[in-house]
Amino acid sequence: MSYLERNKEKRYDPRLLLEGTQSIVSVLYNYFPEEQLETDDNYKISKYAYGQDYHTVIREKLYKLLAFVETHSGKLEQARAFTDSAPILDRAWAQKSKLGFIGKNTCLIHPRKGSFFFIGHLFLPLELEDEAEEITEYCGSCRRCIDACPTGALVAPHQLDANKCISYLTIEYRGEIPKDPKLDFKDWMFGCDICQDVCPWNRFSKPHKEPLFKLSDALKNMRKRDWEQLDKAKFNELFKGSAVKRTKYDGLKRNIDFLKND
């Protein structure tokens, strides 16, 4: 994850990313699905990638929010919307906006909504008052996420070793997946939700109402044999406009081959 080493100054000072920024408005957008992929005879995809690419969906909604702000403030030439699309400390700014606390699994957790949501931000050249109440960390002695991680990526509370993380290895990592018997991917071929699925706070998760995030029939009908025979045309058909495109066809085939031969 060498990209995290770049633009460090901008990550900590948003004014270096967008001159004139005085306030950040952070928002959460639910993606917890009403219907999930069958786990029998199937490889798994992280819930956030079931539907259309969240970057496009959330950015559009953020600019609608900006348009609403501008009905009160007037045109804001230096305002901008971001969702996992720039050198921004997404979770840290959302926490500072009092939208949740950082759990031991390193996810932002809202104590009444769980953690299955996207984070978006509006950078505004306006000084806004912060009236929200602080949300304290509520993990306590719980370590379900740490104990459930099959690769031991959560090496300590709030500490993630990306080189062991299934999400990183199946999405961001570009090399061959190491043949390490300790790397048990539990049939996850794109991303991983284990540390969120076991989190007690996610018992409060409620299904989203976003049609663009809905699980397609085509994905629902896929089985392991279908994935193992996946060609580029089928990949493009299944994942048109999807965040899965980030790993590209060759990356997904690499993941499937790893699982098949594991």
- Hunting for tokens 């663009």 — which residue is that? 212
Which residue of the set 41, 84, 193, 226 is catalytic?
Answer: 84
Distances from the Cα of 86 to the Cα of 1, 118, 151, 172, 191, angstroms: 14, 15, 29, 16, 20
Beta strands 108-109; 188-190: pairing state: unpaired
Buried b (16+ CB within 10 A) or exposed e, 130-162: eeeeebeeebeebebbbebbebebbeebeebee
> Quick check: 243 and 90 in contact, CB under 8 A?
no
What phi, psi does 169 have (nearest 5°)? -65, -30
Please count the helices (runs of H) and the strands (runs of E) in the chain: 11, 9
Q: Identify whether 84 is a catalytic site residue.
A: yes
The DSSP call for residue 124 is E
Give the DSSP H/E element, type plus range, for residue 194.
Answer: helix 194-197
The DSSP call for residue 243 is G
Structure tokens at 252: 């997904």
User: What are the catalytic residues?
Assistant: 84
